[in-house]
Each structure stands twice: as C-alpha cells, then as structure tokens.
Amino acid sequence: MSQPPNSNYFITLDEAIELTNKTKIPLKEEKINLQDSFNRILSKDIYSLIDDPPFDNSSMDGYALIYSDTITASEKNPIELEIIDIISAGKTPIKKLTPGYASKIMTGAPIPDGADSIIMVEKTEKIDNKVRIFSPSFKNYIRIKGENITKKQLILKKGTKLTPRDLGLLATSGHSEIYVYKKLKISIISTGDELIIPGNKLSPGQIYESNGYVLENLIKKLGHNSNRVNIISDSIEKLRLELNKASLESDIIITTGGVSMGDFDIVRKIMELEGKILFWRMKIRPGSPPLFGDWKNTPIFGLPGNPASSFVVFSILIKPWLNYITNTKNQENKIIKAKLIEDIKIKKGFHSFLRVYVENNGNEMVAFTKTHQGSGNMNSLSISNALTFLKPNDKTNKNDIIDVILID
Ligand code: AMP
Ligand code: MG
C-alpha cells in the first residue's frame, strides 16, 4: 500500500523520465530467422561474415579488357580487340586476358584474370568476334572485393531496431539467423463504463473505445507485443482481477482512463490502496494525470482516458522508456525546428504538446494547428503529423521557432 507523495504535486517531465528510468525489466534473447527479423531489436553487435562484394566484378554491361590496349583509341583511329569469352553474372571466367583480347561481360559478373578495365557496351561496336573501341577505357566500372564491407566489420550495433534496409544488409553480409531481444509483452487495459467496441450499436451515453487501437499499434511499431484485455467497466473488483492476470502474463501494464479526480477513477483508487505509485500527475498538457508505479512487481502506466492525452503520454514517456530499457537508439522521437505561423496559447509552467501540422512551405518548416485542441478530439491526432515540444518558458507567438516532435 502506498500513497502518491503529495496529492497536490505535479512532477515535471524530466522528473518523470528520471523516475521511470529507474525501473528496468530483465530482457531475454532469442535466435530468429532473418525473414522474421523486421522491426526486431538486436541483442548483439553484428559483424559481416564475408567481404562485400565477395569478388571483383563489373558494374556495367560491357567489355573487360586491358586499359593500356586502348590508350591510343580515338574516333578516327579505333582499336579492335578479339572477343574470347562471354561472362554472365554468376559464372566463373575461365579465360585469362592477354593484350589484344577482350571478354564480353555483364553487370555483376566476375572480372577475368588479366583485365584491369571495363568499357561500357554503349561506347563500343561489335563486328563479328571483334569489338571496336573509340576512346581510351579508363580503369572504371570495377567493383573491388570488400569495397562496401570487409569480413568481420561491425555492421549493426546491439540495440538497433531492424529496418527493411538493415535486413538487406544482414542478407548481403551472410546472416540467416540473428539474436534479438524477446518482445516485451505489454497488457493494455481500457477502463470506462461508457466504452464499447466498434461494430456494436451505441446506446445513450456510450462511445466507441479507441485508445486500445492506438496503443496496440504504437507498441507493435516499437517492436513489442501487446495483449489487449477487453474493456473493463469502472469496477474495482474487475480491475483487480485483470491487473492480477496482467501482472502474471505481461512485462508491463498500461491502463487507460480512471486516473483523474472523478468518483469512478478506479485505476488511481486501486493503485493508492493496493498498488505502489511512484508518481501521479505531470506538468504536461495535454495528459496531466498519468500515474506510474507497479502492480505486484509489474511496472504499470495509468494513462488518462482522453485519446490525445493517452497518445501524448505514450509518446513522450512510455516510448522513450521502452527505448531506454532495450537500449534502442534508432527509433527515438525525432525533434525538428519549425516556425509557428500563428500565435498559440500554452499553460504556464507546463510542457505543452499541441497537435500541429508541419510542412515545408518552400522556404522553411512551418507549424500550425489544424483544429481545436480538446484532448477528447481523436480527429485532431489523425490530421496532425507532429506535437509541439514546448518547454514551460518557450515563446509561442507567430514567427517564433519551436521544437516539434514528428509523430507515428
Ligand atoms: P477518464 O480518464 O476515464 O476520466 O476519461 C476521460 C475521457 O476519455 C472521457 O470522456 C472518456 O469517455 C474518454 N475515454 C476514456 N477511455 C477511453 C478510451 N479507451 N477510448 C476513447 N475514449 C476514452
Ligand atoms: Mg473513465
């Protein structure tokens, strides 16, 4: 049993980050196939198994030849070389080149012994088994073994969340199986008597549940697994059962709704009486009532129910914490500068995360709000592409340059 430190106290974003970062989760590893590794987080540094390219090869369709044979070639006085071989990609050249000879070669095919130059097919003329060359062929168009990556070179660091490009690099360097962190299991519990699942007819007083859909997919995007619990009505008994279950099944619990001052704010109530609260309420707008603590040794975030609030708290607190505990470096919030093209109002002393749209107006990045900032306005999230990242004393008049976070 524990109480919030002081129920009139709102902690700052920095204090909240410091507190959450004190909570770590033991990470497990697993070996998976390359084709299953998109969006997974590497648990080990990765070194190339081979040189890339593995052999010298041609970067053009053309002729492999000896550069010194072509020094005197010109439009007026072309030179002719005898074609002794046709080398396609995937074949091993058998014939060694000696002066006076050339081998026809395709892109990606190995360079034959003796050759030191490739001339593009477009710059040649073929007559029977001879090729005519009209200009010197410099030592171009040979991709040298290992010029991209050398064997045993570090290619990807532990903590990298794998992109499609990274999968290409892993394949290129010979990896078919890799070690990643096991996905964290995150239970999502949406609370509220008024919530129903889309597909059902709304009765008076009801709204469709939406936070679960947002959170589930934000979690997926970060490379983890969510476990969605059906909507819980505002009943302490039901919530207790679900929290107990979630703490056994999951690494982390996220609840939405029920953390404010309302009579039926059961998440706050049960956490005050039976859980452990590390903090409750932050100096942020929107989303000031979040709660963080643990339920039976499982970290729990109690997010506010309003869609904009729960999205903001996930984005600025939970996402950075998940990155921190998994040491993931390449999916941090991207913060850019943009010029405000309207005055905006913020609450004094709070960090403000307004939903805005940023775009390049041809000269510079500009930011503006597209709609009203009510925290229940799901549409405002969908039509925005950024959140302002305004510190308590930042200026927010038209033409001020501000930080914005690009959102997922
Ligand atoms: P609460 O935090 O429970 O006081 O809820 C604040 C507001 O958010 C209320 O208008 C709720 O109806 C709404 N709300 C709560 N949970 C959800 C949810 N999962 N999806 C959509 N709206 C919600
Ligand atoms: Mg509620």
Q: How far is the CA of 24 from the centre of ligand 1 (A)?
A: 29
Closest ligand 1 atom to Cα of 306: 8
Closest among 63, 41, 183, 172 to 123, alpha carbons compared: 63
Decide: 192 in ligand 1 pocket, CB within 6 A. yes
Q: Tokens for 192?
A: 């509220």
pLDDT reported for residue 3: 45
CA distances from 162 to 36, 43, 167, 319 (A): 10, 11, 7, 17
* Cα 205 to ligand 2 centroid, rounded to whole Å: 12
Structure-token pair, residue 343: 């005055």
Residue 7 pLDDT: 54
305 CA → ligand 1 middle, Å: 4
To the nearest whole percent, how much of the chain has pLDDT over 90?
96
Chain centroid, CA 117 distance in Å: 42
Give pLDDT tens digits for 166-188.
Answer: 999 999 999 999 999 999 999 99
Main-chain phi, psi angles of 147, to 5 degrees: -70, -20
Q: Which ligand is nearest to the CA of 207?
A: 1
Looking at ligand 1, which residue's alpha carbon is closest to its atom 5?
305
CA 274, distance to chain mean position in Å, is: 37
Mean pLDDT on 84-99: 96
The two structure tokens encoding residue 340? 């405000």
Residue nearest to atom 7 of ligand 1 (CA): 306
pLDDT value for 60 = 97
Return d(Cα 270, Cα 332) in angstroms, integer: 33
Best mutation site among 255, 256, 291 for ligand 1 pocket (most ligand atoms within 8 Å of CB)? 256
Q: Quick: pLDDT tens for 331-383.
A: 999 999 999 999 999 999 999 999 999 999 999 999 999 999 999 999 999 99
State the distance from the centre of ligand 2 to the C-alpha of 192, rounded, in angstroms. Answer: 4
Task: Report CA-CA distances (Å) from 24 to 19, 155, 214, 312, 328.
Answer: 11, 27, 24, 22, 14
The response to whether residue 289 sits with its C-beta less than 6 Å from ligand 1 reads: no
Which-ligand-closest: CA of 310? 1
Phi-psi group of 128: left, alpha or beta (phi > 0 → left; psi -120 to 50 → alpha; rest → beta):
left
* pLDDT, tens digit, 9 for 90 and up, residues 47-66: 999 999 999 999 999 999 99
Indicate the pLDDT class of residue 408, thresholds 50, 70 and 90. Answer: confident
Q: What is the 3-state secondary structure (H, E, C) of the chain?
A: CCCCCCCCCCECHHHHHHHHHCCCCCCCEEEEEHHHCCCCEECCCEECCCCECCCCEECCCEEEECHHHHCCCCCCCCEEEEEEEEECCCCCCCCCCCCCEEEEECCCCECCCCCCEEEEHHHEEEECCEEEECCCCCCCCEECCCCCECCCCEEECCCCECCHHHHHHHHHCCCCEEEEECCCEEEEEEECCCEECECECCCCCCEECCHHHHHHHHHHHCCCEEEEEEEECCCHHHHHHHHHHHHHHCCEEEEECCCCCCCCCHHHHHHHHHCEEEEECECEECCCCCEEEEECCEEEEEECCCHHHHHHHHHHHHHHHHHHHCCCCCCCCEEEEEEECCCCCCCCCCEECCEEEEEECCCCEEEECCCCCCCCCHHHHHCCCEEECECCCCCCCCCCEEEEEECC
For residue 304, the CA-to-ligand 1 centroid distance in Å is 7
The C-alpha angle 391, 396, 400, rounded to 5 degrees, equals 110
Instruction: State the average pLDDT for the chain.
Output: 96
Is residue 211 within 6 Å of ligand 1 at its C-beta?
yes
Mutate to test the pocket of ligand 1, among 188, 189, 195 (most ligand atoms within 8 A of CB): 195
Other Cβ atoms less than 10 A from the Cβ of 333: the count is 15
End-to-end CA distance of the chain: 37
Cis peptide bond N-terminal to 392, omega within 30 = no
Q: Which residues pair with residue 196 across a beta bridge?
A: 208
Ramachandran sector of residue 297 (left: φ over 0; alpha: ψ -120 to 50; beta: rest) = left
In the structure, what pLDDT confidence band is assigned to residue 138 with cuts at 50, 70 and 90?
confident
Q: For the residues 319-324, what does the mean pLDDT come to?
A: 98
| CB 262 near ligand 1, within 6 Å | yes
Any ligand 1 atom below 6 A from CB of 194? yes
Q: Ligand 1 pocket, 290 CB below 6 A?
A: no
Nearest CA to ligand 1 atom 3: 257
Where is pLDDT greater, at 22 or 329? 22
Span from the CA of 251 to the centroid of ligand 1 (angstroms): 24
203, 207, 217: which to mutate for ligand 1, most atoms within 8 A of CB? 207
User: How many angstroms separate the CA atoms of 275 and 232, rounded?
Assistant: 18
Strands 355-360 and 365-368: antiparallel
How many whole angstroms from 65 Cα to the centroid of ligand 1?
73
CB 203 within 8 A of CB 193: no
State in Å: Cα 191 to ligand 2 middle: 6
Q: Does 197 sit in the ligand 1 pocket, CB within 6 Å?
A: no
In DSSP terms, 334 is beta-bridged to 406
